[in-house]
Amino acid sequence: RKEVEQDPGPFNVPEGATVAFNCTYSNSASQSFFWYRQDCRKEPKLLMSVYSSGNEDGRFTAQLNRASQYISLLIRDSKLSDSATYLCVVPRGAGFKTIFGAGTRLFVKA
């Protein structure tokens, strides 16, 4: 299994739809994770942190399933402005090094 794997996408959804992405990881000792958003030709920006079973921020919900070793990101009521690539980040071993997933591309259409 790769250290981190994401749904390849792209996901094409209409405005108002609910969409979910998954990210699987191999390091069973991982305790916390991040979701980043990256717009085309821009830097990644932190979207959400996931330190326990999950986290919710407005339309965005991140969930962690330790038994199956995956995290998910749920976006409700999609907006055109949600169109971006979503990267999951997991720790690499002990310490502060991280691994970035290759990202899942989302297109929200009017």
Partner 1 sequence: DGGITQSPKYLFRKEGQNVTLSCEQNLNHDAMYWYRQDPGQGLRLIYYSQIVNDFQKGDIAEGYSVSREKKESFPLTVTSAQKNPTAFYLCASSGTGGFQPQHFGDGTRLSIL
Selected range binding partner 1 among 11-19, 29-37, 54-62, 63-71, rule: CB under 8 A: 29-37
**DSSP three-state, residue 37:** strand
- Of 65 and 98, which has the nearer Cβ to partner 1? 98
Ramachandran bin of 90, using left for φ above 0, alpha for ψ from -120 to 50, beta for the remaining angles: beta
Instruction: Pick one of 28, 41, 67, 81: the residue that binds partner 1 (CB under 8 A).
Output: 41
The yes or no reply on residue 66 touching partner 1 (CB under 8 A) is: no
Instruction: Pick one of 19, 64, 87, 106: the residue that binds partner 1 (CB under 8 A).
Output: 87
Pairwise CA distance, residues 70 & 53, whole Å: 11
Tokens standing for residue 86 = 């979503």
Instruction: Pick one of 76, 80, 98, 109: the residue that binds partner 1 (CB under 8 A).
Output: 98
Using an 8 Å Cβ cutoff, are 58 and 33 in contact?
Answer: no
Smallest separation (angstroms) from partner 1 to the CB of 12: 17
The yes or no reply on residue 53 touching partner 1 (CB under 8 A) is: no
Look-up of token digits 């962690």: 64
